[in-house]
Amino acid sequence: MAKKIVTDLAVAGKKVLVRADFNVPMKDGNITNDDRIVQALPTIKHLLKEDAKVIVFSHLGRVKEEADKEGKSLKPVAERLAELLGQDVAFVPETRGEVLENAIDQLSNGDILMFENTRFEDIDGKKESKNDPELGKYWASLGDLFVNDAFGTAHRAHASNVGIATHVESAAGFLMEKEIRFIGDSVDNPERPFVAILGGAKVSDKIGVIENLLTKADKILIGGGMAYTFYKAQGLDIGTSLLEEDKLDLAKDLLARAEGKIVLPVDTTINTAFSEEGDVKAVAAGSIPEGYMGLDIGPKSIAQFEKELEGAKTVVWNGPMGVFEMEAFAKGTVGVCKAIAGLNDATTIIGGGDSAAAAMKLGFADDFSHISTGGGASLEYLEGKELPGLAAISNK
């Protein structure tokens, strides 16, 4: 890896700024899933063990106006982080100013402080999200070194990642390094056969990923709502299934260029409405009657995808196979999840987003080599795009 990682920095006695991704789900002021906090612990524990003075910060949700601040404070996150670390985490409910500066100055080696939601700076002109140069410079002035461990925001140039890294020596945290190693290396230098599985609603969301993977993967298995645009592009009947009519020519072109690499489901589970109530049944792909819509891949397709995965050495999965939130249409996603989880001699990666949520919900999280913490970032990384937050980190 060409970028510095946290172990490349001499941190003892230094004030180390840590951009974490603590954008955790909250309900009534309580954290409903602390996975992102847990994922950040290795980097933070390393810095504390090495006698750094740790200043950690993150965004939480979107904040456009004063009213949006309600329920968006990072204080509950600081409290949960303290529990997980087994030590006090000082919380400063400010994003800048004398109170914050004094609190940082009072830190001793091995102490940790968290300051308030970086998006609170977006209320007056989107200073954080638009990478305001003055804000990035100010935050950089609060520390001696910068560790970026927030892969989930690496595809955006914000003041809290690119802005800070512009002014101070920086490195990737362990989580960021893991994302780069698994997603980047697995796609660019995969052990073969390399099979990619793409799902989700729209072809338009995955155009760049498909085009990039056509040059790298041995097979691309396509499920989810996006499959119906490919069916229609072949002149098949899709009933009232999801269709991107303006992407039909693109789908034809992708199929032609794929030369057999793209594998579409052979059957689909349909219903008369976007609901579990109705006439749910499986039919051959491309033979969907009028008045019916496809909502999942069918049982024959699950067996088909299992067969395509046999012997795979690298598997990347992004996007569910159907409307997995409804039990009647979760079978395809469950089946694919089980098939990938059963590959004992392969590197298996979930590229964040809904497929990661599905794997965790279904209890398969521990059966994958890596589950990405960044939906949008992992998608852009799979497209082969440069991620500004990663690019800004100091080179070795």
Do 155 and 298 have their domain in common?
A: no
Q: Flag whether 59 is marked binding.
A: yes
Residue 353 among the catalytic residues: yes
Catalytic residue among 36, 53, 80, 261: 36
Do 168 and 80 have their domain in common?
A: yes
133 contacts 162 by C-beta, under 8 angstroms: no
* pLDDT, position 1: 54
* pLDDT, position 359: 83
Do 159 and 248 have their domain in common?
A: no
179 contacts 374 by C-beta, under 8 angstroms: yes
Q: Flag whether 242 is marked binding.
A: no
Q: Flag whether 352 is marked binding.
A: yes
DSSP state of 74: S
Do 207 and 170 have their domain in common?
A: no
Residue 1 lies in a domain: no
Facing residues of 270 across strands? Answer: 281, 294
Residue 184 lies in a domain: no
Do 139 and 212 have their domain in common?
A: no
Residue 392 lies in a domain: no
Residue 374 among the catalytic residues: no
Report how far apart, in Å, the C-alpha atoms of 123 and of each of 29, 52, 63, 92, 126 are.
21, 32, 7, 19, 6
Do 80 and 169 have their domain in common?
A: yes
Q: Flag whether 62 is marked binding.
A: yes
Do 88 and 219 have their domain in common?
A: no
* CATH code: domain of residue 72: 3.40.50.1260
Residue 102 lies in a domain: yes
Residue 67 lies in a domain: yes
Do 368 and 219 have their domain in common?
A: yes
Catalytic residue among 110, 376, 384, 385: 376
Residue 66 lies in a domain: yes
Last residue of a domain, one of 178, 212, 244: 178
Catalytic residue among 136, 353, 375, 389: 353
Give the C-alpha separation, 73 to 352, whole Å. 25
Catalytic residue among 202, 300, 313, 385: 202
Last residue of a domain, one of 178, 211, 243: 178
Q: What's 1-64 look like in SS3?
A: CCECEHHHCCCCCCEEEEECCCCCCEECCEECCCHHHHHHHHHHHHHHHCCCEEEEECCCCCCC
Residue 36 among the catalytic residues: yes
Do 273 and 340 have their domain in common?
A: yes
Residue 272 lies in a domain: yes
Do 174 and 195 have their domain in common?
A: no
Report how far apart, in Å, the C-alpha atoms of 336 and of each of 199, 351, 381 are.
11, 14, 22
* pLDDT, position 376: 79
Last residue of a domain, one of 123, 151, 178: 178
160 contacts 57 by C-beta, under 8 angstroms: yes
Domain that holds residue 66: 6-178
Residue 173 among the catalytic residues: no
Do 208 and 247 have their domain in common?
A: yes
Looking at the structure of the chain, the number of domains it has is: 2
31 contacts 60 by C-beta, under 8 angstroms: no
Residue 395 lies in a domain: no
- Going residue by residue through the chain (396 aa), what tens digit of pLDDT does each one get? 589 999 999 999 999 999 999 999 998 889 998 989 999 999 999 999 999 999 999 999 999 899 889 999 999 999 999 999 999 999 999 999 999 999 999 999 999 999 999 999 999 889 999 999 999 999 999 999 999 999 989 999 999 999 999 999 999 999 999 988 888 887 888 999 999 999 988 888 899 899 999 999 999 999 999 999 999 999 999 999 999 999 999 999 999 999 999 999 999 999 999 999 999 999 999 899 999 999 999 999 999 999 999 999 999 999 999 999 999 999 999 999 999 999 989 999 998 777 887 788 778 888 999 888 777 788 888 888 889 999 999 999
Do 157 and 258 have their domain in common?
A: no
Give the C-alpha separation, 179 to 152, whole Å. 10
Q: Flag whether 60 is marked binding.
A: yes
* pLDDT, position 267: 98
pTM, entire model: 0.86
Q: Flag whether 386 is marked binding.
A: no
